[in-house]
Structure 1
């Protein structure tokens, strides 16, 4: 067990995950039991068109540590994460993707590093030298390009902001959560830029990724990439010209 002297809140956004969300939430509970005593899971149904909401309700009946936030329409992953954060009551808040490509058991190492290194946030990094991942060249090229852009714009010395597995102290993320305006994939950088602006420290951890999506499935489209690029510049403007996060 990791001695964190508090509760761990896990926020799990879900969109059209009806085929796996029931099993994956139960699996997450089983995993968390191994290294933390006190936890909760906030599953956010982001306007799913399938039976995701019904499957979340089914798992809630199995364990009262699971709660749901639900929207009738799809607002994007960033909006789902922020909605989940608003419902947490733990001293530590983690983000976990519903498909469990990033196994929640890795949060044990995140918690240990946070305590040992006295960090306010620990983020997973697919580009870390110790990460175990089969990463397509084009995705690695795009990630490196985005890393250089973020380093120049925000002086964040982190190589990868987009990996779904993240851990924060509630005292660092909750005061800025209501300021986050990016609903899409660039929400990560807005959160990190906001807490960095307020003097909180960020550490990185290697991750192991096990792909579970069907071969050929595309979760991120070109228009998503373009929107993330535009959102990043909007964050830079709010950060440096409007002093929005101060």
Structure 2
């Protein structure tokens, strides 16, 4: 069984090459067949150049990008166009959550006959080390989601998720949010389609001094979340999925070298 890893990256230039190599080595150590699709989300540093350098060395790496920052959700949908594996893993490029944890995700997926396994900071077995501000925002958002959507998961936002490929092929066409509430809209779609979601414990080692999400993002998050609620409860927008179309992207194939 082949796993397609989609790794969205924004301004990860100093570390992206090493993180790609570490991810591939981890998958090899776990004896897992994989491909790694790196999506540069409009970085203004050397992220794409370093990703292309990795693609020129490792045959199972593909680097792709677009010019303007479109948001993490947009990057994940963009990368999905290249997927060839049976399973799809979302993995943040900073490796705050190490890819070795995919072994646990695979075991949970098999044991529970799950269609989707998501990492959860609120799982009782999770080991979490990240700033208090992030903890407060995460807890508040979790309470909001529970009240609005009655979604049977405790954490929608963690950056590691494992999907059966056909699940994403069915639900991605209806996912419109590109940034803050992307994970929420995706999981709402998954649940709405009757797929089984199971949470997994994670080990999170927060490496940044400051997170990418701050107090100034609260209003955009609220707007995106309200839009998902409106589409679900009022418009019934998620009832009829569209066929997912794979279109071409700007990419650096393994045969190309970075200049």
Q: Does the TM-score normalized on the shorter chain lie above 0.5?
A: yes
Q: Does 1:219 align with 2:202?
A: no
The correspondence of residues 229-244 of structure 1 with structure 2, limited to 5 A, is: 229-244=222-237
**Residues in 2 aligned to 1:158 and 1:211: alpha-carbon distance in whole angstroms:** 22
Question: Aligned with 2:58: secondary structure?
Answer: coil
Q: Does 1:77 align with 2:72?
A: yes
**Residues in 2 aligned to 1:233 and 1:36: alpha-carbon distance in whole angstroms:** 43
**Residues in 2 aligned to 1:146 and 1:110: alpha-carbon distance in whole angstroms:** 24
Note if contact 1:144-1:159 (Cα within 8 Å) is conserved in structure 2: no
Residues 141-186 of structure 1 show CA distances to partners (whole Å, capped at 9, x for unaligned) of 3222221221222221111111101111111112121221111121
Runs (4+) of structure 1 exceeding 4 A deviation are: none
The correspondence of residues 90-169 of structure 1 with structure 2, limited to 5 A, is: 90-169=85-164
Match of 2:35 among 37, 40, 49: 40
Q: Give the superposed CA RMSD.
A: 1.3
In the alignment, what sits opposite 1:3? none
- What runs of 5+ residues in structure 2 fail to find an aligned partner? 240-259
Query: Cα distance 1:65–1:202, how it changes in 2: closer, same or farther (>3 A)?
Result: same
**Residues in 1 aligned to 2:201 and 2:27: alpha-carbon distance in whole angstroms:** 19
Provide TM-score, normalisation by structure 1.
0.93
Note if contact 1:24-1:100 (Cα within 8 Å) is conserved in structure 2: yes
Q: Does 1:49 align with 2:44?
A: yes
Question: Aligned with 1:112: secondary structure?
Answer: helix
Larger relative contact order, structure 1 or 2 (CA cutoff 8 Å, min sep 6) = 2
In terms of fraction of residues, the more strand-rich structure is 2
Count how many residue pairs are aligned between Structure 1 and Structure 2: 239
Provide TM-score, normalisation by structure 2.
0.88
Query: Cα distance 1:61–1:135, how it changes in 2: closer, same or farther (>3 A)?
Result: closer
**Residues in 1 aligned to 2:36 and 2:132: alpha-carbon distance in whole angstroms:** 34
- What runs of 5+ residues in structure 1 fail to find an aligned partner? 1-5
Match of 1:228 among 221, 225, 228: 221
Note if contact 1:82-1:178 (Cα within 8 Å) is conserved in structure 2: no
The correspondence of residues 132-211 of structure 1 with structure 2, limited to 5 A, is: 132-211=127-206
Higher mean alpha-carbon deviation, 95-104 vs 138-147, is at 138-147
**Residues in 2 aligned to 1:50 and 1:173: alpha-carbon distance in whole angstroms:** 30
Q: What is the CA distance between 1:135 and its match in structure 2?
A: 4.1
Q: What is the CA distance between 1:36 and its match in structure 2?
A: 4.0
